[in-house]
Structure 1
Amino acid sequence: MDDSCDHGTKQYAEDDILREEPLQQQQEEVQEITSEMYERALLQEENTSLRAKVTTLEHDLRESRQEASEYQHLCQQLEKELKELRNNELQVKPKRLKVISDLLISVSKDERKEARMKVRHDSKRLGNAKVIRAGTVISETWEDGQVIKDLNARQRHFLELKEDIERQRKSLKKSQPDKGDGSDAESGAPEEDIIIQDEIYESRLASIKREEEFYLRERDRYELEKGALIYEMKRIRDEDGSRFNNYQILNHRYALLNLLGKGGFSEVYKAFNLVEYRYVACKLHSLNAQWSEDKKQSYIHDAIQEYNIHKTFIHHHIVRLWDFFEIDQNTFCTILEYCSGKDLNAVLKATPMLPEKEARIIIFQIFQGLVYLNKRNQQIIHYNLKPGNVLFDEFGVAKVTDHGLSKIMEDDVGSQGMKLTSQGAGTYWYLPPECFELNKIPLISSKVDVWSTGIILYQMLFGRHPFGHDQTQDRILCEDTIIKARKVEFPSSPSVSNEAKEFIRGCLTYNQEDRPDVLNVAQYPFVCF
């Protein structure tokens, strides 16, 4: 239509040149009409385009409304399905948890049965505890088993043999003739025969000594087994007497299994987290109903402090604390990382002296944990480092645990440290001299942990404590054993490196002012790999 209008306009222009002037007016009228028709055509085209757009928009709107309706329907259907799914999960989950829980309980029961059978079997070999009643007094004594009795009898036999041979040697020497005689005065035996007989006695004594040493090693081995048996007997007795021994599920997620150990006011159970599907250690703290309210509040305060300190620790060589909750008015629970290996105390009972290489890597790991505690914004003093508080996981990684006596170093303490507010607590073999000051409130710092680590290393290397080894806690306190521990002595055997001795001397520096702190000791060659 546009082309035809243009063509008509051109034609009228050509005729306008040929025609006379009167025709010009017609041409203008035609142009006006043509222009009006052109404008109408454009307007019609625009209207057509607009109508098409409106139609398209209406169609899109209808589709949008349909899609919105479908989307709303899908949302409703999805919500319904999710609701059904949640309902199904609520039905399935308890069943799943019940299956897992039943399986764990079955395995745990088998483990308990096996442990008790092993104790009965070992008791026949190694011995058993006997209860003795004397009027109203009841006491407990240990009766050795057949293996120990046989070893004791063998030792007595060796002793009798040696005594008999020594008597014969003395008799032989008494009967020896004077020099130059050449024969025995009584028997007429030549001096050469007497010398040979004495050599035979000497050889026999050496042979008996070798046999005796073998049986002494056997006895030591059985004594270690006996110690483990006594520990297991105590654990089983504690487990049988525990009110948590019936496979309870705590806080709707922690299935209690078997008792790992019992302390003064707490029990530690192996447990399984039914939500996160992993083993944990449940430490159950019990308040004595006979305690005064002040003592209860003090114990609760210490436990809460341990939780608040411990919950922030995230380190490879420190046992993690996962949870904390109340069970009843007098009992609460902390959930800890489970370490399936032994603690260092159990390791040293089985092997009292470790090779230096093994002892070194254990001390290195302990110091890695201590360095972490001392590089925090608020430094932490563990204060209760000892072999029983060093655990091993299934891969043999050492981890420091039990922060019940830990102290937070405040920012405003002096260079000597903070005041010791729990004097008398802790294990005395592992505490430094400043913790035993009675004439004033001691000031402590991370150097307490340095001393404790030095004691632990000494014990691992030499099989004994450097100070107060054969003493009880009370005797250590009464005799001022640690107060007098000014110099550490090293046995001649076993032989250890100068780096190990230097490390121990540094850790066991008597004066707190001169003793290096954790970060300084961490630079010693012995713990630098």
Structure 2
Amino acid sequence: MKQMKVLSDLLIAVSKAERQEARMRIRQESFRLGNVGVMRAGTIISEIWEDGQAIKDLNSHLKSLLETKETIERHRKSLKKRQSDKLYIFMAIYFLHSFFFLEKMSFCLDKGDGSDAETSMSEEDIVLQDEICKSRLTSIKREEEQYMRERDRYELEKGRLIREMKRLRDEDGSRFNNFQILHHRYALLNLLGKGGFSEVYKAFDLVEYKYVACKLHGLNAQWSEEKKQSYIRHAIREYNIHKTLVHPNIVRLWDIFEIDHNTFCTVLEYCSGKDLDAVLKATPILPEKEARIIIVQIFQGLVYLNKRGQKIIHYDLKPGNVLFDEVGVAKVTDFGLSKIVEDDVGSQGMELTSQGAGTYWYLPPECFDLSKTPFISSKVDVWSAGVMFYQMLYGRRPFGHDQTQERILREDTIINARRVEFPSKPAVSNEAKDLIRRCLTYNQSERPDVLTITQDHYLSYAKK
């Protein structure tokens, strides 16, 4: 017991130092990238983003380049006008030559600022000046592109900063932020993230001596007893599915216990890497080699789910539900919407009884058919994996990328997703495109299931 106390005290000291460091880093990054300010309009108070010094300086550079570009463009126009005026005068000279003695005439070639140097410019001078302008404009374009790349990098950093600010704010507002020890063995450390009804803490198992992730499920005290019981049944169902899964590409579920009448905890394998959603926010387009190894691992997890005695449809595959451990192994998590396929289910699949659940960008057309009760199979997960692979390669989802969930539903975006289109850039192999086409086959009957699609040579690293 004393050993456990010493260990927990040491872990708490380290975690406190990490919290302090995180807040110091936020202060430094806020000066550079920006911070959340408060705007008051009458009785309404709203939050606004105020750019930091680095972004202000960058925008100032871009504005200066724009002003320089406009000045050069005006100068080029004046050169063209001078050239045009000169041509007009010489034509006039030609026609009037027979009527006037022209040897001592001087001609004003410029109606601009009257400068002797400019009015006496020869044709060659004008051409040279124009070439100088074009060269400078090319240089400005290059500088602009460099600043735009820098701004894109700042935007990614700003996104990370905002997410970290939210995490710290959620941690400060959490009732579990004071390093509690749960169930006499799990020492809560720092908050990893917060969802709708749950918080996930990094924790240490003082019995098994390993880091774990504690997912704390909070029931709304205002909920009716019936709703609370429904939520608990749902969580226990998820636990009963998840606890039996043992595979390198699936996050392990270790334990579940009640904290109080309105809160319970599930203890999961701790993955120290980011989730795929965070990876894609930082690097929207992955090299094909990296995207391929991730999708191969996801499919290996799905194969395991479909070779068990009780097959499982995950039903909620998306980047946020793919975690990475410290060495980069991808692991599927969150079985809250998963379906157990009963033994007596025929070839058409099982009835979908939870229509409307899930993340619409990643669900196939059959899940949106309101005319009848849809039948689903592992082909749902094949479609979802295809969407994720496309997103990793092209930096956007193939269908409804800029649409809200509500708009996808209203406009039948997925129901109309009959054909996948590929951008010309970045360059992607034909084998990868063919795999995506197979995954995103519109007709469910023609789309391969998990065990069939994984026979594709692209998903194997075995030497041929």
* Common fold: TM-score over 0.5: yes
Per the alignment, residue 4 of structure 2 pairs with 97
**What is the DSSP-based 3-state SS (H/G/I as helix, E as strand, rest coil) of the residue aligned with 1:340?**
coil
Structure 1 residues 301 and 181 mapped into 2: Cα distance closer, same or farther (>3 Å)?
farther
What is the CA-CA distance between 1:455 and the residue it aligns to? 0.9
Tell me the residue number matched to 1:293.
225
Match of 2:202 among 259, 262, 270: 270
Give the secondary structure class of the aligned counterpart of 2:296: helix
Matched residue, 1:169: 76
Is residue 2:269 matched to residue 1:362? no
In structure 2, distance between residues paired with 1:249 and 1:528: 44
1:264-310: CA deviations, max 9, x gaps? 00110000000010000000111111223332222212211110000
Q: Which residue of 2 aligns with 1:14?
A: none
1:489-504 matches, within 5 Å, as 489-504=421-436
Aligned partners of 1:156 and 1:341: how far apart in 2? 39
Structure 1 unaligned regions, length at least 5: 1-93
Residue 322, structure 1, aligned to residue 273, structure 2: no
Report the equivalent of 2:304.
372
Mean alpha-carbon deviation: is it higher for 193-202 or for 292-301? 292-301
Q: Distance in 2 between matches of 1:400 and 1:411?
A: 24
2: CA distance, partners of 1:433 / 1:413: 21
Query: Aligned equivalents of 1:295 and 1:167: distance in 2?
Result: 69
Please report how far the alpha carbon of residue 136 of structure 1 lies from its aligned counterpart in structure 2 after TM superposition.
3.7
1:184–1:190: 8 Å Cα contact kept in structure 2?
no
Q: How does 1:432-443 map to 2 (within 5 A)?
A: 432-443=364-375
Residue 113 of structure 1 deviates from its aligned partner by: 0.5
Q: For 1:175, what is the secondary structure of its paired residue?
A: helix
Q: In the alignment, which of 46, 62, 72 is matched to residue 155 of structure 1?
A: 62
Counterpart Cα distance in 2 of 1:211 and 1:184: 38
Equivalent residues in 2 for 1:65-104, closer than 5 Å: 94-104=1-11
| Aligned residue among 23, 27, 32 for 1:120 | 27
User: 2: CA distance between counterparts of 1:395 and 1:435?
Assistant: 35
SS in structure 2 at match of 1:258: strand
Q: Which runs of 5 or more structure 2 residues have no equivalent in the other structure?
A: 92-106, 111-118
Distance 1:192 1:338 in 2: 72
- Using a 3 Å threshold, how does the CA distance of structure 1 residues 184 and 436 change in structure 2: closer, same or farther? farther
Structure 1 distance, partners of 2:457, 2:355, is: 33
The match for 1:400 is 332
Deviation at 1:378, TM superposition (A): 1.4
Change (3 A) 1:180 1:355: farther
Shift of 1:179: 9.0
Superposed counterparts of 1:158-307, under 5 Å: 158-177=65-84, 178=87, 185-186=109-110, 187-307=119-239
Determine the structure 1 residue equivalent to 2:384: 452
Aligned to 2:268: 336
Task: Report the TM-score, using the length of structure 2 for normalisation.
Answer: 0.91
CA distance in 2, matches of 1:124, 1:297: 47
Matched residue, 2:46: 139
Match of residue 444, structure 2, among 512, 519, 529 = 512
Count, aligned residues: 436
| Residue 439 of structure 1, CA deviation | 2.3
- Give yes or no for the alignment of 1:110 onto 2:17: yes
Deviates more, 1:296-305 or 1:385-394: 296-305
Contact 1:176–1:184 at 8 Å: present in 2 too?
no
In the alignment, what sits opposite 2:358?
426
Kept after mapping to 2: 8 A contact 1:435/1:442? yes
The amino acid across from 2:353 in the alignment is T
Q: What is the CA deviation profile of residues 18-68 of structure 1, one whole-angstrom value per residue up to 9, with x for unaligned ones?
A: xxxxxxxxxxxxxxxxxxxxxxxxxxxxxxxxxxxxxxxxxxxxxxxxxxx
Amino acid at match of 2:281: K
SS of the residue 1:203 aligns to: helix
> Which of 442, 447, 453 in structure 2 is aligned with 1:521?
453
Against the structure 1 CA distance between its residues 98 and 195, is the aligned structure 2 distance closer, same or farther, given a 3 Å change threshold? same
Larger Rg: 1
Alpha-carbon deviations, 1:49-89, whole Å to 9, x = none? xxxxxxxxxxxxxxxxxxxxxxxxxxxxxxxxxxxxxxxxx
3-state SS of 1:176 partner: helix
Name the CA distance, whole Å, in 1 between partners of 2:90 and 2:420: 58
CA distance in 1, matches of 2:13, 2:445: 57
Task: Specify which structure has the higher proportion of helix.
Answer: 1
Q: TM-score, normalised by structure 1?
A: 0.80
Q: Is the alpha carbon distance of 1:171 and 1:416 closer, same or farther for their aligned partners in structure 2, counting shifts above 3 Å? A: farther
SS class of match (2:83): coil
In the aligned structure 2, how far is the partner of 1:433 from the partner of 1:233? 37
Q: Classify 1:307/1:168 alpha carbon distance in 2 versus 1 (closer, same or farther; 3 Å).
A: same
Say yes or no: does 1:310 pair with 2:242.
yes
**Partner SS for 2:73:** helix
Aligned-partner Cα distance in 1 for 2:185–2:207? 6
Amino acid at match of 2:209: Y
Query: Considering only aligned residues, what root-mean-square deviation do their CA atoms show, in Å?
Result: 1.6
The residue type equivalent to 2:231 in the other structure is Y
- Could you tell me how far 1:442 is from its partner in structure 2? 1.9
Distance 1:390 1:423 in 2: 23
Give the stretch that moved more between structures: 184-193 or 417-426: 184-193
Q: Are the counterparts in 2 of residues 352 and 463 from structure 1 also a CA contact under 8 Å?
A: yes
Q: Distance in 1 between matches of 2:169 and 2:5?
A: 28
